[in-house]
Amino acid sequence: MKSISRHIITLLLVAVTAVTAVAQDSSASSVVRRRGDNDRQRNQGGAGQVTSRMQQRYEDSPVSDADLAWMRVIYRILDLTKDENAPLYFPDEPVDGQENMFRIIMRLLAEGRIAAYEYLDGREMFTDQYRIKVKDMLDRFHILYTDAKGSTEKHPRFTIDDSDVPANEVLSYYIVERWEFDRRDNRMRSRIEAICPVLHRSGDFGGEAVKYPMFWLKFDELRPFLTTQTVFVDDDNNLPSCTYDDFFQLGLYKGDIYKTRNLRNRSLMQQFPEQEDLKRAQDSIQHRLDTYASNLWVPSLEELAAMREKREALEAGNDSTSVASVEKADKPKRTTRSSRTARGKKDVTASKTKVKKPKAPKTQKSSGSATRSVRNRRR
């Protein structure tokens, strides 16, 4: 009887060991398979190994117009010959794994990773009707290409050599900015809606280069790929610690306003033919964008007291022009909600900063030997 029980216990131990081994093998295979799937997805990312999860992370949540108190659309031109915009152009040839933004755009278009839309004069239509075919675009601008492996008529893929990419001819970009004041958090912000590379090509006989806007791209679709390429933005620091997306989000670029969205769809050049009037209009638009949020608030007691002290100090020097400049420069600039609560607090020391008038000297009391009044003197 004891031998039978021992035999049963031995069989149970063997069965438990086998089940445990099978479970470990299945878990290990699932881990390997899961790792293989992740590696496959990462390799399919193509340019910079961008996955669909990264694309969803950089897509901005849509803001309803009902949440906006004010909005304006601004068109700018980024001249890549200026030092501020040079990081978008250099290096014009791939060096040590670094390449400029136009090469990234062309590779993504050739692989079918992003969509491009027709450049319409003054209108941006991001619909399937105006989506361009990459092959037609390459033929239009005389860019050499070959059909890539796995290319089909429905999903075309192309291969473009680095020497055939006209990166040195893209000397400017058009961007569309959207300036919004959100009433939910009382904050002013700007974001880029679209970007358009512009070719600068001269004729066979030289002369001034002609600008050819190529296509529009949705900036939100391009952002995930721009985060994978780092560049350096300063000649004093050659460490590439800034990405192309950081370059745009931090507003490191510099561009002139050439148009604002208006009813007649006219550019600033059409509205102001004279160069001086055009420059004055550009400065006025930029000043309104920079000061719109600050003009919504009433200055606090501290700010009024500081402005009063500066004005009185300048008036003492009889400098009227400096007084006007101080009043213009001392406008309150507050963009947070917490600054509004500071208005209700009373600061006695700041509100009562009045100049004390000098006291008149006290008259000395007369002594007893003073002459009596004529009225009281006896005759």
CA distances from 98 to 48, 91, 256 (A): 11, 7, 28
The mean pLDDT of 13-34, rounded to a whole number, is 52
CA dist., res. 107 & res. 104, Å (int): 5
Residues 243, 105 share a domain: yes
Under DSSP, the state recorded for 233 is -
Is the pLDDT higher at 313 or at 298? Answer: 313
Residues 254, 235 share a domain: yes
The mean pLDDT of 123-131, rounded to a whole number, is 92
The answer to whether residue 11 is domain-embedded is no
Which pLDDT does position 186 carry in this prediction? 77
Q: What angle do CA 132, 133, 137 make, to 5 degrees?
A: 85
Q: Enumerate the β-bridge partners of residue 31.
A: none
Q: Enumerate the β-bridge partners of residue 194.
A: 176, 218
Angle subtended by helix axes 219-226 and 101-111, to nearest 10: 110
Residues 301, 259 share a domain: no
Question: Could you tell me the pLDDT band of residue 133, with boundaries at 50, 70 and 90?
Answer: very high
Dihedral sign computed on CA atoms, order 99, 100, 102, 108: positive
The answer to whether residue 325 is domain-embedded is yes
The answer to whether residue 332 is domain-embedded is yes
Tell me the CA end-to-end span of the chain in Å, nearest whole number: 159
Residues 164, 147 share a domain: yes
The number of domains in the chain is 2
Which of 273, 289, 305 finishes a domain?
289
User: What's the burial of 244, exposed, middle or buried (CB within 10 Å: 0-12/13-18/19+)?
Assistant: buried
Size of the chain in residues:
379
Residues 254, 130 share a domain: yes
Residues 197, 176 share a domain: yes
DSSP string over 56-99:
HHTSPPP--GGGEEEEEEEEEEEETTSGGGGGGT--SS-BTTB-
The mean pLDDT of 194-217, rounded to a whole number, is 91
The mean pLDDT of 22-38, rounded to a whole number, is 46
* Element containing residue 177 per DSSP (H, E): strand 170-182
**Full-prediction pTM beyond 0.85?**
no
Residues 143, 90 share a domain: yes
Widest CA span in the chain: 159
Percentage of the chain lying above the pLDDT 70 cut = 66
Which pLDDT does position 162 carry in this prediction? 94
> Is it the case that residue 197 has pLDDT exceeding 70?
yes
Q: What angle do CA 31, 33, 38 make, to 5 degrees?
A: 95
Question: Could you tell me the pLDDT band of residue 110, with boundaries at 50, 70 and 90?
Answer: very high
**Domain containing 276: what range?**
54-289
Residues 185, 97 share a domain: yes
> Is it the case that residue 215 has pLDDT exceeding 70?
yes
Q: Enumerate the β-bridge partners of residue 282.
A: none
Question: Could you tell me the pLDDT band of residue 299, with boundaries at 50, 70 and 90?
Answer: confident
Residues 139, 237 share a domain: yes
* Element containing residue 158 per DSSP (H, E): strand 158-159
CA dist., res. 71 & res. 181, Å (int): 6
The answer to whether residue 189 is domain-embedded is yes
The mean pLDDT of 320-344, rounded to a whole number, is 46
Q: What angle do CA 82, 126, 146 make, to 5 degrees?
A: 75
Residues 262, 119 share a domain: yes
Residues 331, 285 share a domain: no
Question: Could you tell me the pLDDT band of residue 300, with boundaries at 50, 70 and 90?
Answer: confident
Residues 255, 170 share a domain: yes
Contacts of 58 (CB under 8 A, 6+ apart): 220, 223, 224, 227, 245
